[in-house]
């Protein structure tokens, strides 16, 4: 084997191959994690809807449910497609690698065979002794002895390389077969998901046809719900401002500020809360996000939007509500014509949990991570169990989804 080609192959195997395989593997793991998350969401949605099937949910609620399910199903199909495409790229890369390994293996074997023949021809110890004795001086004899030893080591290394590359080739072939099987499974799963999506779209079209028959009535109902939501939002904002003023007054500071005055302990708690952004546990054991944060279009009229200051999580009946982080109960939210809620302070951050049927805590209670603080209210007519969850920094709301860990 020529020195240049040996170096090229050596560098490719040690540097190029493993890094490429690692990056591809990590990408596949990330996609699989996302796919499993979506599958869990669909499973939870099916379980929640199954438990509510005896209840007469409003047609608007049914539209929301099927629309959400369709969006999750479409995401699942997209992620599964991405996975299949990623596997195709990995399969192509591995097939190329197999071809390269076979060429390297062939060259190594040919080189090794030449060495074996050469060694056989000069195998006698007398040849080696004569090779050394024919040296012109001691320095040359020493160099010849080194050459003999190096040649032996090189032979051993060549044999080891052949063994290593043969094993690598076998392992890669096994990986390739597994990747092809996985790809076929993903394709089959996507076919199934697309069939289920078609059924859900048909259900959506059927529901929307019913809605359009009495659109004015449904739009009036939607408007009434939006007004009620906005009233509750204003009340929560007022209670938060009151909490900030009361806290600052207790600290002997101005009550006109819209920010909490923090003690050293409060600053530390706020810093710890910030450090856990994207890692906080969910406020309920099981659930899916039914309504997302921010401006959301109506499910029955795209021209109508609502601004949500938090998220609503659909969960199971009698679901217990858990604090997502340690802190202190700032106050119990009591709002006219609405179910109670709990506000927990974490330095200058607040987490708000509302639409509760039971409250287990009182103002001033020290709360630990995961501690149960109440129970979610279940609508006896529709069977819906929805928890409202919000995160504030001082009196400004933030997107709760950015704080919660991915399920």
What are the tens digits of pLDDT across the range 317-356?
A: 899 999 999 999 999 999 999 999 999 999 999 999 999 9
Residues 301, 201 share a domain? no
Residues 244, 119 share a domain? no
187 in any annotated domain:
yes
Using DSSP, state whether 53 is helix, strand or coil.
Answer: coil
Residues 275, 178 share a domain? no
Q: Given this model, what pLDDT does residue 18 score?
A: 42
* Weakest mean pLDDT among 49-58, 97-106, 179-188, 291-300: 49-58
207 in any annotated domain:
yes
What the block records as the tokens of 312 is 């609503």
* Predicted confidence (pLDDT) per residue in 15-42, tens digit: 344 444 444 568 888 888 888 888 888 8
Residues 257, 172 share a domain? no
User: 380: which DSSP letter?
Assistant: T
CATH number at residue 297: 2.70.70.10
Using DSSP, state whether 266 is helix, strand or coil.
Answer: helix
Q: Given this model, what pLDDT does residue 325 score?
A: 97
- Choosing from 186, 213, 240, the residue where a domain stops is 213
Residues 386, 311 share a domain? yes
Please compute the mean of the pLDDT values over residues 130-144 and round it to a whole number: 65
Residues 112, 258 share a domain? no
Please compute the mean of the pLDDT values over residues 161-179 and round it to a whole number: 76
pLDDT at 87 over 50: yes
218 in any annotated domain:
no
* Weakest mean pLDDT among 12-21, 102-111, 261-270: 12-21
Q: How far apart are CA 350 and CA 328, in angstroms?
A: 10
**Number of domains the chain is built from:** 2
Number of alpha helices (DSSP H) and beta strands (DSSP E) in the chain: 7, 13
Residues 316, 249 share a domain? yes
- Choosing from 213, 244, 266, the residue where a domain stops is 213
Q: Given this model, what pLDDT does residue 262 score?
A: 93
Residues 240, 198 share a domain? no
Q: Could you write out the DSSP letters of every residue in 207-256?
A: HHHHHHHTHHHHHHHHHHHHHHHHHHHHHHHHHHHHHHHHHHHHTTS-SS
The phi, psi pair for 197, rounded to 5°, reads -60, -40
Quote the mean pLDDT of the chain.
Answer: 81
Question: pLDDT: is 383 or 395 the higher one?
Answer: 395
Using DSSP, state whether 332 is helix, strand or coil.
Answer: strand
Q: Which residue range(s) make up the domain with 386?
A: 224-402
68 in any annotated domain:
yes
341 in any annotated domain:
yes
407 in any annotated domain:
no
391 in any annotated domain:
yes
- Choosing from 213, 243, 258, the residue where a domain stops is 213
- Report percent pLDDT > 70 for the chain: 81
219 in any annotated domain:
no
Residues 42, 137 share a domain? yes
Residues 256, 363 share a domain? yes
> Torsion angle, CA of 115/117/120/122, rounded to 10 degrees?
-70
Considering 24-28, 75-79, 299-303, 386-390, the range whose residues carry the highest mean pLDDT is 386-390
Residues 274, 194 share a domain? no
160 burial level (CB within 10 Å; 0-12, 13-18, 19+): exposed
- Residues 44/407, Cβ–Cβ less than 8 Å: no
Sorted by sequence, the CB contacts under 8 Å of residue 272 that are 6+ apart come out as: 325, 346
Residues 265, 142 share a domain? no
Q: Given this model, what pLDDT does residue 266 score?
A: 94
* Predicted confidence (pLDDT) per residue in 220-246, tens digit: 888 888 899 999 999 999 999 999 999
State in Å, rounded, how far the first CA of the chain is from the last one: 54
């Amino acid at each position: 084997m020529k020195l240049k080609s040996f170096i090229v192959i050596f560098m490719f195997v040690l540097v190029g191959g493993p890094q490429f395989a690692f990056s591809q593997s990590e990408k596949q793991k990330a996609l699989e994690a996302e796919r499993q998350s979506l599958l869990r969401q669909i499973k939870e949605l099916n379980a929640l809807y199954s438990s509510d099937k005896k209840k007469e949910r409003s047609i608007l609620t049914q539209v929301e449910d099927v629309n959400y399910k369709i969006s999750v199903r479409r995401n699942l199909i997209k992620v599964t497609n991405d996975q299949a495409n990623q596997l195709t790229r990995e399969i192509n890369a591995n097939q190329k690698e197999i071809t390269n390994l076979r060429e390297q293996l062939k060259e190594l074997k040919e080189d090794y065979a030449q060495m074996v023949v050469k060694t056989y021809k000069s195998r006698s110890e007398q040849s080696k002794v004569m090779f050394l004795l024919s040296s012109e001086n001691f320095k040359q004899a020493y160099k010849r002895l080194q050459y003999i030893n190096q040649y032996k080591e090189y032979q051993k290394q060549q044999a080891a390389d052949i063994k290593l590359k043969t094993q690598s080739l076998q392992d890669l072939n096994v990986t390739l077969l597994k990747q092809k099987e996985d790809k076929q499974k993903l394709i089959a799963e996507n076919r199934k998901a697309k069939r289920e999506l078609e059924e859900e779209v048909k259900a959506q079209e059927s529901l929307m046809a019913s809605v359009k028959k009495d659109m004015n009535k449904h739009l009036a109902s939607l408007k009434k719900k939006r007004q009620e939501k906005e009233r509750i939002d204003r009340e929560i904002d007022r209670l938060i401002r009151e909490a900030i003023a009361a806290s600052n007054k207790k600290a002997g500071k101005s009550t006109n500020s819209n920010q909490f005055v923090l003690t050293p302990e409060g600053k530390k708690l706020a810093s710890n809360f910030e450090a856990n952004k994207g890692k906080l546990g969910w406020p309920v054991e099981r659930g899916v996000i039914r309504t997302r944060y921010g401006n959301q279009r109506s499910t029955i009229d795209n021209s109508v939007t609502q601004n949500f200051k938090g998220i609503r999580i659909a969960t199971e009946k009698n679901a217990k509500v858990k604090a997502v982080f340690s802190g202190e109960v700032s106050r119990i939210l009591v709002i006219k014509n609405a179910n109670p809620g709990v506000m927990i302070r974490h330095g200058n951050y607040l987490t708000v949990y509302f639409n509760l049927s039971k409250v287990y805590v009182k103002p001033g209670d020290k709360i630990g991570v995961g501690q149960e603080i109440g129970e979610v209210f279940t609508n006896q007519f529709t069977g819906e169990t929805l928890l409202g969850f919000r995160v504030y920094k001082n009196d400004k709301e933030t997107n709760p989804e950015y704080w919660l860990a991915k399920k």
